[in-house]
Amino acid sequence: WIDPIGTIIIRKHPIFTLFLDSTAEYINGVEEVDVSGITISGLKCVTVLIGVYDKKSGLPIIGIINQPFVENNGKRWFGRCYWGHPSETSLPPISPLPGTICVSSSEDPTVVKKLKETGYHITEASGAGYKILTVITGFADAYVLTKDSTFKWDTCGPQAILRSLDGDIVVYASALDKDPASVTYGIDTTCNTGGIIAYKDEGVLKDIIKCLT
């Protein structure tokens, strides 16, 4: 939802806040980790997402992801926070790409098959915010979702961070038409219609488009 904070700055730049993404993993807490190092399920998939977008352009400009459950010393959990805006980010420069793509467990098998045939390792993980975070942190090359199953509050903050790293989140359907359009935000819609592709390297986006068209 849009956080109704009534200041001049906030009226110009509305905020999307998702206080707890991947609530099922928060409740269940059963951890499973893929060979790629990506957590498939468990508390590490839980994120808190905050995003600010520009009212005029509809593009995200500030993003914060809090990952509350990163390490456990046996007594308590320690978290980690990631952030980004157009001129600065908390993330280091892009690292070598691992050849992994994150998808949902309900993703179209035909799409998954094509990506595998291109040579990508496919990992199913929980939580839209966490899946995008795997791209931000370099555990995955991209997150591909063909369905209309994410919402603006899932993507606004993470997209701002990706844009600070020269990446983006584009509409999947527009990418398949070979005219990838950035996901944008406003008060008239809450669903990311047309699916999404989150990436940090434009070469990966081009490779995915070539693979799926």
The percent helix, strand, coil of the chain (3-state, each to 5) is 30, 30, 40
* pLDDT attached to residue 5: 37
* pLDDT attached to residue 31: 81
Residue 92: inside a domain, yes or no? yes
Residue 119: inside a domain, yes or no? yes
* pLDDT attached to residue 76: 92
Residue 37's nearest CA partner among 167, 143, 140 is 140
* pLDDT attached to residue 1: 36
* pLDDT attached to residue 141: 97
Residue 2: inside a domain, yes or no? no
Is 34 annotated as ligand-binding?
no
Residue 1: inside a domain, yes or no? no
**pLDDT-flagged residues of the chain (< 50):** 1-9
Residue 14: which CATH number? 3.40.190.80
DSSP code at position 151: B
* pLDDT attached to residue 201: 95
pTM for the model stands at: 0.89
| Rounded Cα distance, 41 and 202, in Å | 28
Residue 151: inside a domain, yes or no? yes
Task: Read off the pLDDT of residues 112-144 as tens digits, 9 standing for 90 and up.
Answer: 999 999 999 999 999 999 999 999 999 999 999
Query: Considering its fold, how many domains does the chain have in total?
Result: 1
* Domain enclosing residue 74, as ranges: 8-212
Non-local (6+) Cβ contacts of 89 within 8 A are: 83, 161, 164, 165
Residue 27: inside a domain, yes or no? yes
Task: Read off the pLDDT of residues 99-117 as tens digits, 9 standing for 90 and up.
Answer: 999 999 999 999 999 999 9
